[in-house]
Amino acid sequence: MSKNKIRGYITLAVLLAVFSVVAFAVPFSKTMVFWLAYIFAVAAIAYQIYVFQVSFSDTGDVRSKFYGFPIARVGVLYLLVQLVLSLMQMAFAAVFPTWLAVIINVLPVAFAVVGCIAADVMRDEIARQDTRLKTDVAAMRALQSMSAALAGQCSDDDAKKAVQKVADAFRFSDPVSSEQTKDLEKELQNQMDEIQNAIVDGDFTSMNILCGRILGSLAERNRICALNK
């Protein structure tokens, strides 16, 4: 268990103790309204344990925990609202209708449950999109890195300029892949392998031709990316 969770549980325990002292030390009328208000307040405090578990799971990474803050915000808002409502009901317990107390206490519970579920669904969708984006840009990031590295390996000035032009073209290209660009990206990878082999063999005479092919394939990929937006 993380230190932050331990601190959170200690805070909840202190809050429960303080609320209980206030509830029973102040001479409130111990009517059904009082007990309803007290029970729902205690339930709101206990609900925060579930909120902590869902929002800041020990098994999640830092990004997942960051996405959990909206869930925690809903839980804290529910707790504050419920504590205020409970204290108000206790103060007027002698004259407060029981049926109205039930409704007033149930509404925040509904808000908390629905709000936490919605925030959790949103977190899962954001995390899914984030993972998908990492996957979609992996191919082009690898080609960008490879082209930049090859430019530094050329000993021939003309070849180095040609490969640097390719590296610049990759750097300013749309990094997000799609089903329509996958075949072109495989072709680009094969063409980059040809350039790498040419550099290793010292075949700088054909470098302009090889780089021209890559620039043509990359231009076609950029065209497809623009059409898909």
Query: Which CATH number belongs to the domain containing residue 20 in this structure?
Result: 1.20.140
Q: Are residues 168 and 106 in the same domain?
A: no
Return the SS3 of 95. coil
Q: Which domain holds residue 59?
A: 3-133
pLDDT in tens, 74-90: 888 999 999 999 999 99
pTM over 0.85, yes/no: no
Banded pLDDT at 179 (limits 50, 70, 90): confident
Q: Are residues 26 and 113 in the same domain?
A: yes
Measured distance CA(199)–CA(186) in Å, rounded: 20
Average pLDDT of span 93-99: 91
Return the SS3 of 176. coil
Q: Are residues 16 and 100 in the same domain?
A: yes
* Number of separate domains in the chain: 2
- pLDDT computed for residue 62 by the predictor: 45
> Which token pair is 69?
């803050």
Contact status, residue 221 vs residue 175, Cβ threshold 8 Å: no
Q: Are residues 102 and 47 in the same domain?
A: yes
Q: Are residues 106 and 54 in the same domain?
A: yes
